[in-house]
């Protein structure tokens, strides 16, 4: 009986506890919160940023030994100084075509004399002539004559090479620049590489030959590379190439293009180079045309049908194509790093059987990127598709697991997840909108580019409002569902983020973009560490000790799993640093059509969203309100103070002292001959600016500029003696009246007119031009071009103005020396009526003494020190035929 009584007593409490448990399952868990998670994540982000900056700016120690079988930055710098000491080296000038050529040949002969008898060094000086069409900038057809290339072939003694690796640099200068980084330093690196590869007593014997192309005309839009790859006797042996370029001075060189196809090249890079820095995302950005630049890579690929690798320096783009591009701005560590990488890569490729016959490795694209310069992740696109689609399937599985209702949760997890998706989208939009507000405010006040000389300002001006806007929406959502636990809200937002990454990954995968590697990595790590390891393994083993202390097992394990899930963010931080390094200086030469601040607000806002996408929800949903208020107050003050200073014009954008951040200012002293209206000829100085502030900052310093008048678009190509087809980048140009410049007109003579059919005629012209000239051809209404001597096809017209007009834009570049140029065109239309064609011939003088004038020198002397000036003279002859 006692036993029965004890049993009866025992049953009642068990039933009561069981009922309480059922009630507990229905009751919501109170949303206790701790700041430990936020502090842990902020510390982790700080460490990621420090590691990324250290990786980005860390350079190896230079090798200062003059001899030996190792690359020496000391030797390379000696060559660099020798090249730049010759001054500005425009294609067609004596400094470029004669003096630099002779210097290169003499250095190569010195290397040849000290080389091992086991190798053979052959030198060829090429003077190619030809023509080609290039769909770059506004589009142009290029005629080139008598350019200068110095070509060296390194091979084993007594061997007859059938397969060669081409390595290319260019030694000519952009307008008015010493061109130390772009691209004399690359040529210096190749000269030292040639010495090391051929050095006695132990040369690096290679299976295949290596051709070094020292290219004498790249800045005139790539003609010398075309001359080599289409005409040189060794060009037929080339199976792959390395192209060395620069859009800045110093720093790390980046592999930013490879292919087309031939994934073995990226694999060779990842295996061989000691200091990797590569990005397939950079490749797809560059090839999208967003950046107004191109390299010889395009010529070798399109006109030679050869795959290759494109590498470039890009740090300190402020000095790119300015008088500040000097040898002293290039660190020894940058030279050493580039040299060791190039040497290792040449040895890897030139010893590979794949150079002769890639086999199956000639097909397919490749995904590649480096991790903090430690190693390269590289895999073929087909494997990337498997990984991407596999992760998409895992994402659906993870969503199914996460959507299960857990003990103590008061709301359906699936319902909460799908309710959270609009919240995430609105938060992204709000963050981008807040960043855009900064750009619009500084644009409206006319005080743009405040970040130009202070790159760190993109953080308070654009990154901070992005974080505030994004976080504010999440904070509202947290208060909207205050009865739901912080953990459930956080998990729902995590799943929503994963779903958005899932859609992003699917979209990029369907578009066959290699950049899908970014959302793939982010989603995979998030699913692995948060959805599977934390949510479905660790979370239920720890027990209900969520906030028993700031360092409870629950908080420690949750923070650790969150940190591990965010490890791929380091790729985004490096990407953000690189984007800032590239785009901030680019805003000084991106034209005045779109506000630089609006562009940077969009670019920075998008970058900040990527970096902090998975950081913000854990911080907002797990932190106390007091912590979030202090954090918001700090960030808001940081943003508003910076915006106030920028909008008030207190942060001047340019600097003429180190580190220089110059305003680019182009002056062209021209005489315009209107042959159909002799009395309408005139002279003056055309003024071109390349940033959004245009001439406004200069008017107080140079009152004479107030006399300049805005150029109206009249005539062929708006009547402008343009140096490049970039009218679409320039919102306005100005003209300041002056006397005629010293340059003379070119000669363009109509040699013959022949009837080719009942409605077409052939016009043959003979021209004698200076080393640089431009032709604008525009058939009159009712006429069109049927064919011409320059290509087997008629290219698209180069657009100009706002009314959809266009002309055929021809660039002419001639090396040292000269001769006559013949051009014929066939015009369709009423052949019994003349004229049928408008022609503008621009004679461009960029070399002394004809490249300057007293008026130019007087105006240049008035400009402040923070202006980087490029000046030249020209004569434009407007004619009809």
Indicate which residues carry an active-site annotation. Answer: 218
Q: Map tokens 């900052």 to a residue.
A: 697
Alpha carbons 240 and 170: distance in angstroms, whole number:
18
**Residues across the chain:** 881
Q: How far is CA 271 from CA 43, 240, 257, in A?
A: 34, 17, 17
Determine the Cα–Cα distance for residues 92 and 83; give it in Å rounded to an integer: 16
Q: Which of 111, 147, 329, 285 is nearest to 222 (CA)?
A: 147
Helix (H) or strand (E) holding 322: none
Measured distance CA(645)–CA(641) in Å, rounded: 6
Using N-to-C axis directions, what is the helix angle for 569-586 and 517-526, rounded to 10°?
150
Contact at 8 Å (CB) between 874 and 721? yes
Rounded Cα gap, residues 254 and 246, in angstroms: 10
φ, ψ for residue 646 (rounded to 5)? -70, -45
The helix or strand, by DSSP H or E, that contains position 790, with its residue range, turns out to be none
Q: Where are the alpha helices (DSSP H) in 455-592?
A: 458, 464-480, 486-510, 517-526, 539-542, 553-565, 569-586
Contact between residue 184 and residue 80 where contact means Cβ atoms under 8 Å apart = yes
CA distance 693 to 590: 11
Q: How far apart are the first and last CA of the chain?
A: 127
What single-letter DSSP state applies at residue 532?
I
Which pair of tokens denotes residue 644?
Answer: 């106030």
**DSSP labels for 682-746?**
EEEEEEEE-STTTTGGGTTT-GGGGG-EEPP--SGGGG---SSS-GGG-S--EEEE-PPPSPPPP
Paired tokens of 809:
């834009």
Q: Is 251 helix (H, G, I), strand (E, B) or coil?
A: coil
* Residue 270 backbone dihedrals phi, psi, to 5 degrees: -65, -30
In the three-class reduction of DSSP (H, G, I as helix; E, B as strand; rest coil), residue 846 is classed as: coil
Adjacency order of strands within the sheet including 784-788: 747-757, 760-768, 821-828, 784-788
């Amino acid at each position: 009986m006692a036993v029965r009584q004890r049993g009866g007593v025992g049953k009642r409490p068990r039933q009561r506890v069981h009922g309480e448990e059922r009630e507990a399952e229905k009751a919501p868990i109170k949303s206790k919160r701790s700041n430990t998670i936020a502090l842990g994540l902020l510390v982790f982000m700080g460490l990621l940023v420090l590691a990324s900056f250290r990786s980005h700016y860390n350079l190896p120690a230079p090798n200062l030994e003059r001899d030996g079988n190792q690359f020496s930055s000391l030797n390379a710098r000696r060559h660099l100084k020798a090249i730049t000491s010759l001054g500005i080296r425009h294609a067609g000038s004596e400094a470029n075509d004669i003096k630099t050529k002779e210097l290169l040949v003499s250095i190569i002969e010195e290397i040849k004399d000290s080389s091992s008898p086991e190798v053979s060094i052959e030198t060829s000086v090429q003077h190619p002539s030809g023509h080609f069409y290039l769909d770059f900038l506004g589009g142009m057809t290029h005629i080139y004559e008598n350019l200068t290339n110095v070509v060296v072939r390194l091979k084993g003694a007594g061997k007859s090479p059938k397969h060669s690796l081409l390595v290319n640099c260019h030694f000519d200068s952009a307008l008015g620049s010493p061109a130390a980084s772009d691209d004399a330093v690359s040529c210096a690196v190749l000269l030292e590489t040639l010495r090391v590869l051929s050095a006695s007593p132990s040369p690096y014997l290679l299976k295949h030959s290596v051709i070094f192309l020292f290219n004498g005309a790249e800045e005139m839009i790539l003609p010398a590379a075309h001359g080599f790859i289409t005409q040189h006797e060794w060009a037929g042996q080339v199976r792959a190439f390395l192209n060395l370029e620069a859009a800045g001075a110093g720093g790390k060189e980046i592999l930013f293009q490879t292919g087309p196809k031939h994934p073995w090249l990226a694999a060779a890079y990842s295996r061989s180079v000691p200091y990797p820095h590569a990005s397939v995302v950079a490749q797809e950005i560059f090839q999208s045309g967003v950046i107004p630049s191109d390299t010889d890579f395009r010529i070798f690929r399109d006109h030679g049908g050869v795959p290759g690798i494109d590498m470039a320096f890009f740090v300190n783009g402020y000095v790119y194509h300015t008088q500040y591009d000097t040898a002293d701005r290039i660190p020894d560590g940058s030279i050493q790093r580039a040299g060791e990488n190039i040497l290792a890569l040449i040895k890897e490729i030139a010893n590979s059987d794949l150079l002769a016959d890639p086999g199956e490795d000639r097909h397919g694209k490749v995904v590649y990127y480096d991790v903090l310069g430690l190693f390269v992740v590289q895999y073929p696109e087909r494997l990337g598709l498997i990984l991407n689609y596999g992760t998409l399937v895992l994402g659906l599985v993870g969503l199914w697991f996460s959507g299960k209702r857990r003990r103590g949760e008061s709301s359906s997890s699936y319902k909460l997840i799908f309710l959270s998706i609009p919240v995430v989208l609105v938060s992204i939009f709000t963050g981008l909108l807040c960043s855009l507000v900064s750009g619009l405010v500084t644009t409206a006040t006319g005080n743009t580019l405040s970040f130009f000389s202070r790159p760190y300002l993109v953080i308070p001006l654009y990154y901070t409002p992005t974080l505030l806007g994004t976080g504010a929406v999440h904070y509202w959502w947290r208060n909207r569902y205050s009865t739901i636990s912080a953990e459930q809200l956080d998990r729902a937002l995590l799943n929503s983020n994963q779903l958005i990454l899932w859609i992003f990954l699917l979209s990029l995968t369907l578009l066959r973009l290699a950049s899908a590697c970014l959302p793939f990595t982010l989603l995979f790590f998030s699913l692995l560490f948060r959805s599977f390891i934390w949510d479905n393994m660790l979370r239920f083993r720890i027990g209900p000790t969520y906030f028993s202390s700031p360092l409870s097992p629950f908080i420690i394990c949750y923070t650790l799993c969150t940190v591990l899930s965010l490890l791929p963010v380091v790729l985004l931080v490096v990407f953000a640093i690189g984007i800032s390094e590239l785009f901030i200086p680019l805003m000084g030469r991106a034209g005045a059509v779109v506000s630089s601040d609006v562009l940077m607000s969009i670019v920075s806002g998008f970058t900040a969203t990527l970096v902090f996408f998975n950081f913000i929800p854990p911080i907002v949903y797990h932190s106390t309100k007091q912590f979030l208020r202090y954090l918001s107050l700090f960030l808001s003050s940081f943003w508003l103070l910076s915006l106030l200073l920028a909008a008030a014009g207190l942060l001047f954008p340019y600097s003429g002292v180190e580190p220089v951040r110059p305003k680019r200012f182009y002056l062209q002293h021209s005489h315009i001959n209107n042959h159909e209206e002799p009395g309408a000829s005139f002279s003056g100085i055309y003024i071109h600016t390349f940033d959004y502030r245009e001439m406004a900052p200069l008017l107080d310093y140079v009152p004479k500029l107030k006399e300049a008048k805005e150029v109206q678009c009249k005539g062929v190509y708006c009547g402008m003696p343009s140096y490049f087809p970039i009218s679409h980048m320039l919102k306005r140009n100005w003209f300041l009246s002056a006397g005629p410049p010293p340059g003379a007109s070119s000669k363009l003579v109509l040699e013959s007119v022949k009837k080719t059919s009942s409605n077409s005629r052939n016009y043959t012209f003979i021209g004698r031009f200076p080393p640089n000239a431009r032709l604008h051809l525009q058939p009159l209404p009712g006429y069109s071009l049927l064919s011409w001597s320059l290509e087997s096809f008629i290219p698209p017209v180069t657009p100009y103005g706002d009314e959809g007009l266009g002309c055929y834009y021809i660039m002419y570049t001639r090396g040292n020396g000269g001769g006559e140029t013949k051009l014929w065109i066939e015009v369709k239309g009423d052949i019994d009526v003349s004229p049928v064609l408008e022609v503008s011939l621009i004679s461009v003088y960029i070399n002394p003494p004809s490249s300057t004038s007293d008026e130019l020198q007087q105006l240049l002397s008035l400009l402040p020190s923070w202006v980087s000036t490029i000046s030249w003279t020209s004569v434009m002859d407007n004619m009809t035929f």
